[in-house]
Amino acid sequence: MIWTVVSILLSPWTLFSAISLFISYKWLTSTYDFFEKKNVHYEKPNIFFGNFTGMILRLETNFDMVKRFYMKFKDYKWYGMFAMRNPSLMIASPEIIKQVTVKDFDSFLNHRFIFNPEDEPILGNSLFVLKDQKWRDMRTTLSPAFTGSKMRLMFQLMDECGHNARKFLKSEAKGKGPIEMELKDFFTRFTNDVVATCAFGIQVNSLLEKDNQFYQMSRKATNISGLTAIKFMLVLNFHQIKKLFKIKIFDEEFTNYFYRLVVDTKQERALKGIIRPDMINLLMEARSAGQKPVNRFWTNDDLVAQCIGFFGAGFETSAALMSFCAHELMENTDIQRKLIKEIDQVREELGDKPLTYEVLQRMQYIDMVVSETLRKWPPLIATDRACNKPYVIADENGGEVKLNPGDVISIPIVGLHHDPEYFPNPDKFEPERFSPENRTQIQPFTYMPFGVGPRNCIGSRFVLMETKVAIFHLLSEFTFEASPRSCLAILLDKTSFQPKPKGGFWINMNTLIYCNLHGPSKGSKVFVSMYL
C-alpha cells in the first residue's frame, strides 16, 4: 500500500503537475510584495483574484469595491490595490492627482497597456489606447470634432433623434395609459441612433426597427458580459495568456461590418462630394498626409478605430447616464417638477421654433441635474495612468513613494465623488451642489466624471448634449414615475460588470398634460400626470 502511494507520488505526471502548480503559484504571487517594498498601505490580496475577489465572485460590484477601498485608505493619500496580480497605486489626494495628471503629465502620458495595435488593429488604434506621439497627433486631429461649432452642427442630428423618440413614445402611450419600460434598453436604442447619424452618417430608427443590423453590431461592441467580460478581464490582467491563445475581444463579423461601413461611406462621399457634419467627414479632412497641424497619414484602420471608439462616449456611457438621471428624477419628484418647469418655460419662449444648441446651453437646471447624476453615478469608476519615467510622489509630511517606468497609478473617481468631506451627504441626489454659486466652491480634482487632465474624455461635450436632448424631449411629454418593478433606493446588481439597479431601470412613463389656468396666475402652465 505504501509503495503504491509512493509510486503514484513519484510518477512523471504527478511530478509535472506539482511543478506546474508551484510555478503557477510563484508567478501569480510574484508581484504581491510590490507595495510592501514601497512601504505603501494595502490590503492583503488573494491568490489569482488579488483584491478583486468580491467583484469576480459577484459578492460586490466594482463600483462598491472601489468606493469601499477609497473610504478605508483615503487618509493615507495613496494606497495599493491588486487587480488579480497587477498592482496599481491608488491616488486619494486631490493635490497629488493634479500633480501627476496635469503638472507632470509628461511622466504619466499613457494609460496602462490594454491592446496591442498589431494584435487588435481596430481597438489598438483607438484614441483611448494610443500612446505617446501617435496619441498626441490623433487627439489634435479629433479635437476640432468636439468644439462648440461642431457640436452646434451635430445638435441638429441629435435633436431629430430626440423628436423620433418622443414621437415613438406618444404613439405607444395613445389610449394605453402609463407605459412601463426598461429605460436602459430604450436609451440604448436612442443613443444607437445618435451615434449612427453623428459618427457614421447613416440613419436608423432602432425604436421602430428593433433588430436592425447596426444596433445588433453596436450591442456587440458595448455589451461587456458573459464570455466577453471574461475575455476582457484576461486581456486587462494576463497579457501573456491573451497573446498565447490569440484571444480577441470582438469577432471578425463585428470588425468587418464596421470596417466596410466606414470605408465604403468614405469612398462614396469622396466620389460624390458629399459633406455631412459627422466624424467620418472630419477624419476624411484630416487623412491627407502633410495636413497641418498633424503631419501624419491616417490609415483606414486608424479611421475605423476612432469611429468604433466613439461608441464609448456616445452609446453605452450616455445610455447609462440617461438611465440613472431618469431614475433619480423618478425618485425625487420635487426635482423632476422643477426641471419640467424649466423645460416648460423654454418651450413657451420658443413657441413653434425648434430647440437650438444655444438655448439648451443656457438651461441651468438641466445642467445641474445632469452634473449631479454624473457625480453620484460617474461613467468612469476609476481611471489610470502608466508611469513612463522614474518619478517620486511625495506629500507635505515627508512621505514618498518611488515609481518606475511601467508602474500604474489609478484615480478612484467614484470614491472621491462619494466622499462626504467634499460632497456632504453624498448619497443624496442634490442638483443644487452644481448651481452657479455652489459649483465654484467644489474643490478642484474631486469631481471628474470624464477623467482628468489632457487625457480626459474628448467626447464629454457630446455626452452632455446628447443626455440633455433626451431628457428635454421626454419631460416635454411625460413624467417619470415608479412602476411595480422599479428598484427604489438603487441597489446595484452584483452580477453586472456595468453599474445598474438590481432588476434593471424599470419605470412608468405617464403622459404630461398641460392646462391653462385662470385667475391670478392666468396664462401660466402647470403639469399634472394622468393615466390616458
The residues near 30 (Cβ < 8 Å, ≥ 6 apart) are 85
Q: What DSSP string describes 20-61?
A: HHHHHHHHHHTTTTHHHHTT--BPPPBTTTBT-HHHHTTSS-
CA dihedral 147→430→63→37, nearest 10 degrees, is 90
| Total residue count of the chain as it appears in this document | 532
Measured in degrees and rounded to the nearest 5, phi and psi for residue 418 equal: -110, 20
Distance between CA 406 and CA 6 in Å, rounded?
46
CA dihedral 225→228→232→234, nearest 10 degrees, is 110
The residues near 175 (Cβ < 8 Å, ≥ 6 apart) are 532
Q: Do 82 and 50 form a contact (C-beta atoms < 8 A)?
A: yes
Q: Do 510 and 531 form a contact (C-beta atoms < 8 A)?
A: yes
Distance between CA 454 and CA 467 in Å, rounded?
23
CB atoms within 10 A of CB 327: 26
Distance between CA 417 and CA 365 in Å, rounded?
20
> Which amino acid appears at position 267 of this protein?
Q
457 annotated binding-site participant: yes
Name the nearest CA neighbour of 105 among 448, 379, 409: 409
Q: Do 158 and 194 form a contact (C-beta atoms < 8 A)?
A: yes
478 bridge partner residues: 511
CB atoms within 10 A of CB 332: 19
Distance between CA 249 and CA 123 in Å, rounded?
9
Q: Give the CA count within 13 Å in the CB-facing half-sphere of 223.
A: 13
3-class state of residue 402 by DSSP: strand
The residues near 93 (Cβ < 8 Å, ≥ 6 apart) are 77, 78, 395
Binding-site residue set: 457
Binding-site residue set for heme: 457
